[in-house]
Amino acid sequence: MADRNEASWNNMISGYVKTGFFLDASGLFLQMWDRGFELNGYVIASLLTAFSRSKSMFLEGLQIHGLVLKNGLLYDVFVATSVLHFYGGFALVSDAQLLFNEMPDRNVVSWTSLMVNLADDGLFYEVVNLYQRMRQAGVGCNQNTFTTVISSCGSFDDEFLVHQVLGHVIKTGHEINVSVANSLVSTFGRFGQMEVACYIFNHMDVHDIISWNSILAAFVHNLVFEEALIYFHLMRLNHGEVNETTLSTVLSVCGSMDKLNWGRGLHGLVLKLGYEMDICLTNTLLTMYFESGRCQDAEQLFHGMPEKDLISWNSMMAGYALGSNCLDALRALGVLLRQKKIINFVTFASALSACADKEVLSEGRIVHGLVIVSGLHENLVVGNALISMYGKGGMAHKAKDVFGKMPEKELVTWNALISGFAENGEVDEALVIFKSMREMDIPSNYITLINVLGSFYVPCQLLRQGMPLHGHILVTGFDSDEYVRNSLISMYACCGDLDSSNLIFYALVNRTPATWNSLVAANAHHGQWEEALKLLREMQRAGVNFDQFSLSAALAASSNLAILEDGQHLHGIAIKLRHGHLLKARETFHEMLVHGSKPDHVSFVAILSACSHGGLVDEGLSYFTSMTSDFGVSAGIEHCVCIVDLLGRSGKLDEAESFIKKMPVPPNDFIWRSLLSACKIHGHLELGKKAAQHLLDANSSDDSAYVLYSNVCATSGKWHDVHRVRVKMETESVKKKPACSWLNIRGKISSFGAGDQSHAESEQIYIRLAQMKKEIKEAGYVPDTSYALHDTDEEQKEDNLWKHSERLALAYGLIETQEGSTLRIFKNLRVCGDCHSVYKFVSSVVSREIILRDPYRFHHFRGGKCSCGDYW
């Protein structure tokens, strides 16, 4: 151009900036300046925008700021705001604030620009303070102001303030603006106010893709998964367009809800839309497949990824941890270490979670060593994972050591430690930690209380600790929490007070499915099968939804009662209810398959357990075979334990041994203990010796393995072998856990050992014991001396049986309690078969209900019968 005026230069510089040629824009500006053109706000703003976007032209920007000051252009609010924006672009928030305070004039863009800078730097309180100053200054807000302030309110959970902002939005008419409405939907969703979020969304005139993604994310954040899928369907119908954010959000729903068909359909949509190369979306697919139990699909997808980032590897390790697949998780960690890839705290947290089991705790300790070497041992998330791992691995005191060394702790940390002690039965220690929390004014949440409640399981704990904690729950208002209520129902049931469980349940006006299921489980735990079945029928009539886990638990509980007809009835109810066929409760498993429903890992554990306790050998083996071949469910150790128990109970010990040799997973102590118990029942000495040896190889101080094998020898009449086992125990300094029974009489615990004569009323107890023996013999009782495990004559064996701790406790209970009342007795070891018979006869002779709890179940004796059906 021959004639270039100021407008021409301005347009050229602006054009270069818009097209990304920042250096050319800078060069053209220098030429313009050399030719004597005056600086103007338009060109200054264009250049500062260029330098801010480039992220590499900071010095040039400082020079422009110098020119602005030299030429007195800071009084131009348009120029000053551009400089402000420049400093914000380089994250120099403090410099931006200084400049803002020096500006002689400010407009809405100036205020909003600083707000955006503060929000980008995470200074959300500062954003709100600036908003309040802006309103006091009488400056009006625009849509960018409102979106920034609303998002900031959501980031630091100021629910009251966001309602004030909403009022301001409505007053100024900005609620019709799409971006403002999107921010409101997102923020109210974060606060859990889905009614408000849905109202705003449903009253929007126009929805863009961000609107739909915001409401979907709100539903997912609040675990309202069904609604999320409904709105996704509406989005497809009314909007059509979806993006990576949409798909990632909905895929997370599919994993959480076990909606594998939806997940597969979305995977197809990912491929159709060409997003298969999007690594973030692929990582979400990995998580979805793992959460749906499709480990092989996740592995296939992972190995087919052209590029993997650390999140991909972390997703795989988290997936393996979710499936308790420790070895694969550690293999993945090994690959990362060998390839010298950068790993982070998430990697180690997943690896530690995978090792959170007694069977693999040694591997977990190795990972702990790697954590220390990597310098991540002080990381909060890693510390929480370590505490959880040691707690679940039976080393709660090691977890406490980790806790003591952590420089920072959060509520999750405290909860993990309490859970560790509670799971290991160390109630007093769990309570000490809980008390420490209260003394340090650390607020507890429902998880804290659930962990503490779950540690109570005997009557003395109920009186001393459980009931006071219930009082604390009432005072603090946690009794309104569904999970806490359900835990209270379970606590009272576990401590033998089913009446209180029922009182809590029937006092509730609104009962969720989980609340119903808690009481079902409580009744099944006590052997109150009729009541449990009655509750299930009430649930059906009330149209209460069941989830797969509660149904599987109910089925497993019913199978433990060994009432085969009713167990099969519940089997049909559980399967059909889970798949929506409420009126077909008695239909068979085959009919379920005809309807296209697919059983999962948990369902097969329940079904195999039912077959084991019901003696259905052929059916159980058929289920196990079809589980893998027809349904693609990998056989886990839980399924294998059921099969060994199934074969062992039915006397097929050789088949059980053969099965163990061919198992798809390595046998653990549950396998060998199940086999050893079967050998005791059927007197298989040689195989019992093998099973005991496996248990002792794993843990040479396992007293129960010695005792079980000694019992096998005694049952087989091999008294010389019994003596050898006892000598071996003495040599290894292994002491048998002594049997102990106890009961609570008027708030006082009375305990008895075998042959105990230390009680103050011992003389009266043995007199009542003799009377009881005479009464039940007249009623037809014949002692089974095979349960006397000492080599003596028959008379002495019978005398030894009558010294068992549970009989002494029973005699004392009959003396001290009112006729017709329910008698509750607890024992620390499994009740022997002859004592079980005694309890049945006594319940008939004295016409009383007697509840005996051993480590395996509650036995309810009434009218000469036991709730377990003599099969425990």
pLDDT for 197-219, tens place per residue? 999 999 999 999 999 999 999 99
pLDDT at 18: 65
Residue 17: what pLDDT?
A: 65
Q: pLDDT digit string (tens) for 282-300?
A: 999 999 988 887 888 899 9
- pLDDT for residue 858: 75
What is residue 310's predicted lDDT score, i.e. its pLDDT? 93
Question: Average pLDDT, stretch 814-833?
Answer: 88
What average pLDDT score do residues 428-440 get? Answer: 92
Give the residue-averaged pLDDT of 736-740: 75
The whole-number pLDDT of residue 651 equals: 86
Q: Which residue has the higher pLDDT, 712 or 554?
A: 712
Instruction: Decide which of 756 and 41 is more confident.
Output: 756
- The pTM of the full predicted model, rounded to 2 decimals, is 0.60
pLDDT-based confidence at 580, cuts 50/70/90? very low
pLDDT (0 to 100) of residue 595: 42
Residue carrying structure tokens 């606060």: 191
Which of 573-587, 625-639, 785-799 is predicted with the least confidence, judged by mean pLDDT?
573-587
Per-residue pLDDT at 582: 28
Q: Is the pLDDT of residue 548 over 50?
A: no
Nearest Cα to 607, choosing from 581, 580, 646, 661?
Answer: 646
pLDDT, position 219 = 94
Task: Over range 370-392, report the average pLDDT.
Answer: 94
In 3D space, the residue among 871, 532, 842, 818 whose CA is nearest the CA of residue 861 turns out to be 842
pLDDT at 143 over 50: yes
- At 604-618, the pLDDT tens digits run 776 777 677 656 788
Distance CA 654, CA 667 (A): 16
What pLDDT, on the 0 to 100 scale, is given for residue 720? 64
Residues 404, 396: Cα–Cα separation, whole Å: 12
At residue 849, the pLDDT reads 93
The string of pLDDT tens digits covering residues 471-497 is 989 988 998 888 899 889 888 888 878
- For the chain, the average pLDDT equals 81
User: pLDDT tens digit string along 835-850?
Assistant: 999 999 999 999 999 9
When pLDDT is cut at 50, 70 and 90, the band that residue 533 belongs to is low
745 beta partners: 748
| Confidence band of 58 (pLDDT split at 50, 70, 90) | low
> In the predicted model, what is the mean pLDDT of residues 449-470?
82
pLDDT class of 564 with cuts at 50, 70, 90: very low
Cα 727 from chain centroid? 45
- Kindly report, residue by residue over 405-418, the tens digit of the pLDDT: 999 999 999 999 99
Give yes or no for residue 629 having a pLDDT over 60: yes
Report CA-CA distances (Å) from 686 to 667, 682, 726.
Answer: 19, 12, 18
Q: What is the pLDDT of residues 2-54, one digit of tens each?
A: 566 666 666 676 666 666 666 666 666 666 666 656 666 667 777 777 776 66
Q: What is the DSSP letter of 868?
A: T
For residue 13, what pLDDT is reported? 66
Query: 216-220, 675-679, 855-859: lowest mean pLDDT where?
Result: 855-859
Tell me, what's the pLDDT at 571? 46
Share of the chain above pLDDT 70, in %: 77
pLDDT at 259: 74
pLDDT for residue 14: 67
Per-residue DSSP letter, 395? -
Instruction: Give the phi and the psi of residue 853 in degrees, each rounded to 5.
Output: -110, 125
**pLDDT tens column, 64-105:** 777 777 776 677 787 778 777 778 777 788 888 888 888 888
What is the distance between the alpha carbons of residues 812 and 751, in angstroms, rounded to a whole number? 10
Angular region, 632: left φ>0, alpha ψ -120 to 50, beta rest = left
Mean pLDDT of 677-682: 77
Distance CA 327, CA 333 (A): 10
Answer yes or no: is pLDDT of 221 > 60: yes
Q: Is the pLDDT of residue 688 over 70?
A: yes
- 123-146 mean pLDDT: 90
Instruction: Give the model's pLDDT for residue 573.
Output: 42
Strand ranges inside 791-842, DSSP E: 823-827
pLDDT at 589: 44
Q: What is the pLDDT of residues 692-732, one digit of tens each?
A: 777 767 666 566 666 666 767 766 566 666 667 676 666 66
Structure tokens at 141: 């807000």
Q: Has residue 428 got a pLDDT over 60?
A: yes
**Are 487 and 473 contacting, i.e. CB atoms less than 8 angstroms apart?**
no
pLDDT for 811? 95
Statement: residue 225 has pLDDT above 70: yes
Round to whole Å and give the CA distance between 497 and 459.
Answer: 8
- Hey, which bits of 71-209 come out as E strands? none
- Residue 297 CA to residue 633 CA, distance in Å, equals 12
Q: Which of 44-58, 495-509, 545-559 has the lowest mean pLDDT?
A: 545-559
Q: What is the 3-state secondary structure (H, E, C) of 429-440?
A: HHHHHHHHHHHC
- Reported as a pLDDT band with limits 50, 70 and 90, residue 420 is very high
